[in-house]
Structure 1
Amino acid sequence: MTVNLDTRSELSTPHAENAPLLGQSLAQLTDWVVRQGQPKYRGKQLYQWIYQQGARSLAEISVFPKAWREEMGEGAIGRSTLHYRSVAPDETRKYLLRLADGLIIETVGIPTENRLTVCVSSQVGCPMACDFCATGKGGFTRNLQAYEIVDQVLTVRDDFQRRVSNVVFMGMGEPLLNTAQVVAAVKCLNEDVGIGQRSLVISTVGLQGRIHQLAQYKLQATLAVSLHASNQRQREQLIPSAQHYPLQQLLEECREYVEITGRRITFEYILLAGVNDSKENAAELARHLRGFQTHVNLIPYNPIAEVDYQRPTRDRINTFKKTLEGENIAVSIRYSRGLEADAACGQLRASRSQLEAV
């Protein structure tokens, strides 16, 4: 049964008078201004200032009456505070954003000539504890609300002063442990911020039943499943949750997802030298994916201080890729941006100096 995406409130936090305005639809914002005793047309003005102008407070919305702006104060919209910002030599920018409750999340802006991609977090921390990932080493605090996800995109857009073309849910957290808020954010980014759903990517390590749940929304966003191993033993070594979800069951649920949505799945595979990067691993992976509507993204490992994994040599990476291609598996190599700023895939966890920054 398809989940109804028409009603934003069914997916996000129930409406309350003091709920943040960011993340709400035009209809919801219009209802809100009317309840404040303002004329209906101010709903469209509010909508435009939040999503197009990037307003951070009602006080800066100059088309509103001054007395009303002063009465409403600063906190109604729900924007975060920039805590720390770093820029890598390749112009990738990493942001630490302070939320209303004082917690810190990370997001990354990745520019190219024709694109601006934002890597957003869906949780504060991550409970998955993947062995090669810095975020999982820091533990888990809470899920993000939809508006806190959308805020990350607006923050990057405003800092770069250019349109965001793509959003990937590959920052802190496991998106499918926060499905309702992630889907609400997808809808907002699509309808209100103006980013096509096919330019959005939702990533997951694979949790039993969660991919099936996401399929019911029939989103046009791309699903990216983090395999990182060619067999169950390796997955359990790298991803603790894999102990409860055999690889074959995960792949069956992925096949069901393709049937329900008609959308191709991307499989993410971090290459770790001497662990999962052999030609035999590639052949084993190909056997799992044969006849599958899919694409494999190979990601050479990005080092973190907590573990001693190494990045494979370029020859070994290319051999892995050619082995998959020889089995007619669509494959590409994704060399991560932002390595020098600890903003690359698997590196998102703020250092003490960054957390203490003003």
Structure 2
Amino acid sequence: MEKIELRGCSENELIEICQKIGLKRFRAIQLFQWVQQKAVRSWADIKNISKSDLETLSNHLHFSVLNKVREQRSKDGTRKYLFRLEDGETIECVLMDYARLKARDRHTICVSTQVGCPVGCAFCATGLEGFKRNLSAAEIISQVLDISQDIQQEDPDFQVTNIVFMGMGEPMLNYDQVLKSIRVLNQAQGLNIGMRRMTISTSGVVPKIIQLAKDNSQVGLAVSLHAADDSTRDKLIPMNRRYPLSELMEACREYSRITHRRITFEVALTADNSKPAEAEALARLLKGQLGHVNLIPVNPVVGTGMERPSQEKIVKFAQVLEDAGISVSSREERGTDIDAACGQLRRQWEGKLV
């Protein structure tokens, strides 16, 4: 009998399992709290459940913990982790510690949802290595739990406040496991992270955008837009050939109609695509859409050949959008000194950066 991954179980799933194997309901609640609140990594770490009950549980459930291979720390408080999975594959995730800034008590973890990525965006290091497999809900949740436990050894009061699903991989292509991980992380007996404090980022998987609106109207949505015309976006995001801008923007309008929530549109700015004409085209595309534009100076990544624009270009680009009535901000750079772009640490570890 194949064992179930314990860290991917909801409280109700554990209750159902306990009832099937003859254990009381309260045991399931205790177990869920140990796993999700206290982030234990083994059966030996659980103290208030009898050894006989733990042995019974271990016959049906499996701890899928991560092995920290490497950690990088930025001067701004950002930490980047490389974790090895049980099958030997590696993934990255990033802690963005905004609590160092005055009046901003926020700790955001950016998690991966796939090993590699099948989308192959032109500016992303992850896609350069291709796609291996989807992560399970347990492997997604484990990134949050293991980073929390790691930092709590230094700061016992540390708590994750926000989660963004925009690390390695396309979350919408692993939709079911991503949604399950969100629901588990939201549960009151676990980390109790609010739905509105979690955001899924997509390169534009149109059917899943609409499904997300219908399945869960509270989770935030970010769309990697990056260009306002199909010919340019085809080169930057191959997904656009399957779901062109006309279909993507219609899905975004439908999402906002159902949820009444604004979408964050991510725009990676390079030295080449940061001209006022591009900003004007973007303003026309987003006219009437409930949303906010987040400008992201592209991270320098070996193998992409892309360079970031000057600060002057970024300011002018933003001004064009503001003048057109589009809400806009420029992403605060985090972890640039430790190569915080998705996939960079993994490629470096595997010896593929020169």
Question: Does structure 1 residue 179 correspond to structure 2 residue 178?
Answer: no
1:282 to 275, 279, 284: 279
Residue equivalent to 2:3: 18
Q: Deviations over 1:206-245 (max 9, x none)?
A: 0242212222213311110001112111101111221222
Unaligned runs of 5+ in 1: 1-15
Q: What SS does the corresponding residue of 1:270 show, helix, strand or coil? A: strand
Residue equivalent to 2:310: 313
Residue equivalent to 1:11: none
Residue equivalent to 2:155: none
Residue equivalent to 2:195: 197
Q: Compared with structure 1, are the counterparts of its residues 268 and 21 closer, same or farther at alpha carbon in structure 2 (3 Å cutoff)?
A: same
Q: What SS does the corresponding residue of 1:105 show, helix, strand or coil? A: strand
Q: What SS does the corresponding residue of 1:351 show, helix, strand or coil? A: helix
Q: What SS does the corresponding residue of 1:193 show, helix, strand or coil? A: coil
Matches of 1:237 and 1:352, distance apart in 2: 25
Residue equivalent to 1:109: 95
Matches of 1:91 and 1:133, distance apart in 2: 23
| TM-score when normalising by structure 2 | 0.90
Question: How many percent of aligned residue pairs carry the same amino acid?
Answer: 44
Residue equivalent to 1:343: 340
Deviation at 1:291, TM superposition (A): 1.3
Q: Deviations over 1:188-223 (max 9, x none)?
A: 111132111111110001024221222221331111
Q: Please tell me whether the aligned partners of residues 3 and 61 of structure 2 are also in contact (alpha carbons under 8 angstroms).
A: no
Q: What SS does the corresponding residue of 1:178 show, helix, strand or coil? A: helix
Residue equivalent to 1:295: 292
Deviation at 1:37, TM superposition (A): 3.8
Q: What SS does the corresponding residue of 2:316 show, helix, strand or coil? A: helix
Q: Please tell me whether the aligned partners of residues 268 and 296 of structure 1 are also in contact (alpha carbons under 8 angstroms).
A: yes
Q: What SS does the corresponding residue of 2:87 show, helix, strand or coil? A: coil
Matches of 1:78 and 1:36, distance apart in 2: 21
Q: Compared with structure 1, are the counterparts of its residues 84 and 70 closer, same or farther at alpha carbon in structure 2 (3 Å cutoff)?
A: farther
- Which segment is superposed worse, 131-140 or 154-163? 154-163
Letter of the 1:200 partner, please give it: M
Q: Deviations over 1:76-102 (max 9, x none)?
A: 232222222121221211111122222
Residue equivalent to 1:228: 226
Matches of 2:54 and 2:94, distance apart in 1: 32
Question: Does structure 1 residue 77 correspond to structure 2 residue 74?
Answer: no
Q: Compared with structure 1, are the counterparts of its residues 218 and 130 closer, same or farther at alpha carbon in structure 2 (3 Å cutoff)?
A: same
Matches of 1:255 and 1:351, distance apart in 2: 37
Residue equivalent to 1:31: 16
Deviation at 1:67, TM superposition (A): 4.5
Matches of 2:95 and 2:129, distance apart in 1: 22
Question: Does structure 1 residue 94 correspond to structure 2 residue 80?
Answer: yes
What RMSD in Å do the two structures reach over aligned CA positions? Answer: 2.0
Residue equivalent to 2:137: 146
Q: Please tell me whether the aligned partners of residues 218 and 260 of structure 1 are also in contact (alpha carbons under 8 angstroms).
A: no
Q: Compared with structure 1, are the counterparts of its residues 73 and 91 closer, same or farther at alpha carbon in structure 2 (3 Å cutoff)?
A: farther
Q: Deviations over 1:307-358 (max 9, x none)?
A: 22111010100000011000010000003311222223x45451354689xx
Q: Please tell me whether the aligned partners of residues 57 and 74 of structure 1 are also in contact (alpha carbons under 8 angstroms).
A: no
Deviation at 1:263, TM superposition (A): 1.3
Letter of the 1:233 partner, please give it: S
Deviation at 1:248, TM superposition (A): 1.7
| TM-score when normalising by structure 1 | 0.89
Matches of 1:301 and 1:165, distance apart in 2: 26
Unaligned runs of 5+ in 2: 100-104, 153-157
Matches of 1:40 and 1:214, distance apart in 2: 32
Residue equivalent to 1:3: none
Q: Please tell me whether the aligned partners of residues 3 and 59 of structure 2 are also in contact (alpha carbons under 8 angstroms).
A: no
Q: Please tell me whether the aligned partners of residues 226 and 269 of structure 1 are also in contact (alpha carbons under 8 angstroms).
A: yes
Letter of the 1:130 partner, please give it: C
Residue equivalent to 2:123: 132
Deviation at 1:282, TM superposition (A): 0.4
Letter of the 1:251 partner, please give it: M
1:217 to 215, 218, 237: 215
Matches of 1:186 and 1:75, distance apart in 2: 20
Matches of 2:260 and 2:179, distance apart in 1: 18
Residue equivalent to 1:58: 43
- Which segment is superposed worse, 62-71 or 44-53? 62-71
Matches of 2:295 and 2:250, distance apart in 1: 21
Matches of 2:257 and 2:151, distance apart in 1: 38
Letter of the 2:292 partner, please give it: H
Letter of the 1:163 partner, please give it: Q
Letter of the 1:329 partner, please give it: I
